[in-house]
Amino acid sequence: MRLRLLGAGAALAAGLALSACSAGTGSSSAVPSSGGQALVMSHGHLVVVRLMPGVRPLTGPGCNYSEYAFCFYVIPGDKGPYASSSDGTVPLYNVGYIDSNKNGDLDKKFHDYFSPDPGDPTEQYIDYKGKAPKTAGNVKFTDVYCIGHSKKECADGSGSIIYLGIALSP
The contacts of residue 24 (CB under 8 Å, 6+ apart) are 41, 43, 44
Asked if residue 5 is part of any domain, the answer here is no
Cα–Cα distance for residue pair 18/62, rounded to 1 Å: 32
pLDDT, one tens digit per residue, over 88-123 is 988 999 999 999 998 888 899 999 999 999 999 999
Cα–Cα distance for residue pair 100/142, rounded to 1 Å: 6
pTM of the model: 0.79
Asked if residue 64 is part of any domain, the answer here is yes
Cα–Cα distance for residue pair 50/20, rounded to 1 Å: 17
From 82, 138, 68, 70, select the one nearest 111 (Cα to Cα): 82
Greater model confidence, 152 or 45: 152
Greater model confidence, 13 or 45: 45
pLDDT, one tens digit per residue, over 31-44 is 555 568 888 887 78
Domain span including residue 55 = 10-168
Asked if residue 60 is part of any domain, the answer here is yes
Decide if 77 contacts 86 (C-beta within 8 A).
no
Q: Using 50, 70 and 90 to split pLDDT, how confident is the model at 8?
A: very low
Q: What's at 77, amino acid-wise?
A: G
Number of domains into which the chain is organized: 1
Average pLDDT over residues 156-162: 91
pLDDT, one tens digit per residue, over 120-151 is 999 999 999 988 889 888 999 999 999 999 88
Asked if residue 2 is part of any domain, the answer here is no
Asked if residue 126 is part of any domain, the answer here is yes
